[in-house]
A and B are shown apart, each in its own frame.
Chain A
Amino acid sequence: MRLTNFSRSGIAPSEVARPADDREWEALLARAGHRGVTVRGAGASYGDAALNSGGVVALTSAARRIGSVDAAGVVEVDGGATVGEVLARVLPDGWDLPVVPGTGRVTVGGAVAADVHGKNHPARSSIGAHIASLDLLTPADGLLSVSPSTRPGTFWATVGGLGLTGVVRRVRLRLERAPGRWRSVDHVAKNLQEAVELLAAGGAHAVAWLDGHATGAALGRGVVTTTTAAAAGTRPQPAAPSDAGAPWTLGPRAGVRLPNLLTPAVVRAANAARLARARTRGGRPMISGGVRALAPLDTLPGWAALYGGRGFLQYQMVVPPGEEEVLAVSLRALQGAGHPPSLAVLKRLGAPPRGRASGTLSFPVPGWTLALDVPVPPAGEEAQWLGRVLDDLDDLVAAAGGRVNMVKDARLRPELVRHMYPGLGRWLEERARLDPDGVMTSDLARRLGLGVGAGRSS
């Protein structure tokens, strides 16, 4: 079967399996061939974390039970249940996930493998901080129950471990009480400097949408949205029609192969409209009701198809405080290369909660994270030049003490991973303990040298 990724930039022929229970998973891992097994939840990775060319891809969709929330707010969920499904189950009872990624389509297992973060990282960290314990099926040691206190080495290698330590079968998530209402305010930022200042001052949830096409003095202008829990008693506004759910979908079975519709002209027009909308609201807050508004990436399912046959790639990096100049250089470099980002999102990332560790290979470190979506150019000089520009940006980010997010990545050089992730050596050791034969793999693992004795690849 030919599987693809979220950004529709890669296609990998693989044999697809769907084990029904722990026993079938164990059997699958035991008989894995030389191309190994890749665990795949929703397949919502931007890059190749859930692809396995020439190998077996095992879907986790057979297990999607969601338990009931206990008095302490802990709920046990199967690895194959999606974040959206969990929210749909727990929100009506007044519980909420402390960390929600940009799309509800990801499975809980995938969320753990990516150690997803949301717009509230400085306050709430990533999902790894809210896991009471998880059940991990490993090739070497079978089914293990791990937590920050039980086998912490294995736990923190699995959080953000890209699915390479074993199969996340069940997760016990710690929920929190949901606020009745959310209060969002949009502020227009004239440039990157202002966006950074507004984010620094921001509330519980804060995100900056930046105009990737704006140059010169307006570089990095955009809209900063800060959201806080509203006081009880504030009346929500009627939901806009778009909040009711997407009326149509561009899912993979839509069968229509579009050319790239997100041309620079279209993107510039959309950016202008976004800015205009924010200016018109003039900073008036919007109150939304009990159900959190649809995650931004889910407003139009299948929107990646708008990028056409070649898809797009996302470059997400984080740089420590004080290195904000790297953000400006990234925007200018891509614009100068003729590939202005069609989407640019800036957020703040914080430190892990006091006294807690974080995923050994997890992306978030304190600082500024900029995520840039760029359409994949036609093959040849254009694509290779963009590759060169991004390689140079990697060097800049690494030199600044930052890193590139491997969950979103499709083109990072393996040499950079060791430079950007000081925990790599420790992580590889733990992985070799849990999976000495290198059964757990993926195209990403081979490409970035995360395999156990895997051959080098791009």
Chain B
Amino acid sequence: MNVLGQPGTVVVVGGTSEIARAVLTRLLLSRPCDVILAGRPGPRLDRAVRSVRVFGAHVQTVPVDAEDVDHLVRSLRSALAGREVDVAIVAHGVLPEQGTVERDPLAVARLVTINTTAAVAAGALLADHMRRQGHGVIVAMSSVAAVRPRASNYVYGATKAGLDAYFAGLGERLRGTGVHVVVARPGFVRTRMTASLAPAPLAVGPDRVARAVLAGLDRDVVWVPAVLGPLMIALRLAPRALWGRLDRGASQHPLHGPHARRPRRPATSTGEPR
């Protein structure tokens, strides 16, 4: 990446993620570059490829499934071989309908595989590649949900907490190597993944997240919106009773309280039904 934040090659894990697409859009508006999109093959990935090509960027797709971590690592490794990678974004993930998933041990385990295991494996691969280059930036999409578990969202939150701790630690490990890790912790982002939920207070759109991430490429943590930083740090210390009440208050919201419409299949950051 040059001194003005224009990369030559960008790698995205979670090629159809709307947040990743917003980041790519902003980068490509500044200068077309090479893009490697790793994601689940299908019409959404094709659409993502087309939207990148519109900018005159050269795109390579790497068909992967986050449930098959072995295959993901192998495919990504061969796609990166011999390439100079400037920026990598780990943006894939599933937001489950917690009620349906939490009673099924295998479903919970699958969620951890997708959201955490695949992410940290990709992170380890990218870190090794960039360390040998002596430069690079890894952006890991975590979430405010990672900060403190809530009864209404603890499964998703846990998967993000694992990802968050891994990438934060990785960033510490890589100090002085020229490789930098940014952990992004957005709050509620209005995307396909959250379409069935009522927007929480301080909800933002994907472009806002993209702008915050790109402005914070030299920082360790990026909260979106920024006020969530001090807010979550304070809430992390809130007494359990208060935290529980805040959480219950949110889940009493008409749109996803007891009178919510019937359970739907969980949404993914890639927007495809699982």
Contact = CB atoms under 8 A, between A and B. Distances in A.
Most buried by A among B2, B9, B86, B176: B2
B266 interface: no
Contacts of B26: 381, 384
Contact of B134 (A13, A377, A384): A13
B30 A457 contact: no
Interface in A420-458: 446-447, 454-458
A411 B6 contact: yes
Given A11-B178, A387-B30, A455-B84, A35 B5 contact: no
A52 B134 CA distance: 8
B186 interface: no
A242 B6 CA distance: 40
A12 B176 CA distance: 9
Interface in A270-326: 310-311, 313
Contacts of B178: 2, 11-13, 53-54
Contacts of A313: 3-4
A54 B83 contact: no
Interface string A178-190: 0000000000000
A55 B134 CA distance: 8
A381 B134 contact: no
Most buried by A among B83, B84, B131: B84
B4 A376 contact: yes
B181 interface: no
A379 B30 contact: no
A378 interface: yes
A182 B82 CA distance: 54
Interface in B109-137: 131-135
B83 A455 contact: yes
Given A447-B8, A458-B2, A14 B27 contact: no
Interface stretch (B45-53, B94-102, B161-169, B212-220): B212-220
A388 interface: yes
Contacts of A458: 1-2, 6-9, 33, 86
A262 B131 CA distance: 34
B2 A447 contact: yes
A410 B31 contact: no
A251 B7 CA distance: 30
Most buried by A among B5, B86, B211, B214: B5
A298 to B, nearest CB: 24
Contacts of A53: 133-135, 178
Interface string B211-252: 100111110000000000000000000000000000000000
A378 B215 CA distance: 7
Contacts of A378: 215
Nearest to B177: A13
B4 A387 contact: yes
Contacts of A35: 132-134
Question: Which of the four size classes fits the interface of chain A?
Answer: 35 or more
Interface string B135-164: 100000000000000000000000000000
Interface of A (DSSP majority class): loop
A379 B134 contact: no
A379 B176 contact: no
Interface in A378-406: 378-381, 383-388, 390-391
Contacts of A311: 3
A446 B176 CA distance: 21
B129 to A, nearest CB: 10
B176 A457 contact: no
A413 interface: yes
B31 A387 contact: yes
Contact of B29 (A310, A384, A457): A384
B8 A384 contact: no
A446 B83 CA distance: 11
Contacts of B135: 12, 53-54
Contacts of A455: 82-84
B3 A376 contact: yes
A52 to B, nearest CB: 8
A319 to B, nearest CB: 22
A14 B176 CA distance: 10
A60 interface: no
A302 B86 CA distance: 29
A235 B171 CA distance: 64
B83 A384 contact: no
B34 interface: yes
A225 interface: no
A310 B218 CA distance: 11
Nearest to A412: B2
A388 B29 contact: yes
A384 B5 contact: yes
Contact of A411 (B3, B34, B131): B3
A10 interface: yes
Nearest to B6: A387
Contacts of A147: none
Contacts of A138: none
Nearest to A411: B2
A384 B30 CA distance: 5
A73 to B, nearest CB: 41
A9 interface: yes
A387 B83 contact: no
Interface string A101-126: 00000000000000000000000000
A87 B218 CA distance: 42
Given A14-B134, A457-B9, A384 B27 contact: yes
B4 A456 contact: no
Contacts of B5: 379-380, 383-384, 387
A245 to B, nearest CB: 31
Interface of B: 1-9, 26-27, 29-31, 33-34, 82-84, 86, 131-135, 176-178, 211, 214-218
11 contacts: A2-B176, A12-B178, A13-B178, A34-B132, A53-B178, A380-B217, A384-B31, A447-B8, A455-B82, A456-B84, A458-B6
Which are the 7 A-B pairs with shortest beta-carbon distances?
A54-B134, A380-B215, A53-B134, A458-B8, A384-B30, A387-B4, A457-B84
Given A310-B3, A454-B84, 5 more contacts: A381-B215, A387-B5, A411-B3, A447-B8, A458-B33
